[in-house]
Copies of this chain bind each other. A is one copy, B any other.
């Protein structure tokens, strides 16, 4: 699945997660809750700007996020992806890796 090439990269999922709530009404016009580069960087607690820029470009090219004056936000398509990811996240919450305590709800992008 080529999708995993994208989402498996560090911070990719975290960026999407941090943009939950910032959803564009359509693919070109973003709403006013869009996050700026530095905002995202702060919310992702210390990604280096080079890496963040990489992820943002990749996700943009994939049509998952969009970029406008106001900043970055999920595209309509990105929002549908988020829904599926939420389902995975839900599974991960139920997930009981044998021998370890149940996972805390955690959206961290860290490895």
Query: B-contacting residues of A (Cβ < 8 Å)?
Result: 1-5, 7-9, 13, 61-63, 77, 80-81, 84-85, 87-89, 91-92, 95-99, 103, 106-108, 111
Contact A88 B13 (CB under 8 A): no
Contact A3 B95 (CB under 8 A): yes
User: Chain B residues with Cβ under 8 A from A95's Cβ?
Assistant: 3, 62-63, 77, 81
User: Chain B residues with Cβ under 8 A from A111's Cβ?
Assistant: 5
Contact B2 A92 (CB under 8 A): yes
Contact B91 A1 (CB under 8 A): no
Distance of A49 Cα from B10 Cα, bound (Å): 26
Give 16 A-B contacts (CB < 8 Å), ordered by A residue.
A1-B106, A1-B107, A3-B89, A3-B92, A3-B95, A4-B13, A8-B9, A61-B97, A61-B99, A62-B95, A62-B97, A63-B95, A63-B97, A63-B98, A80-B91, A81-B95
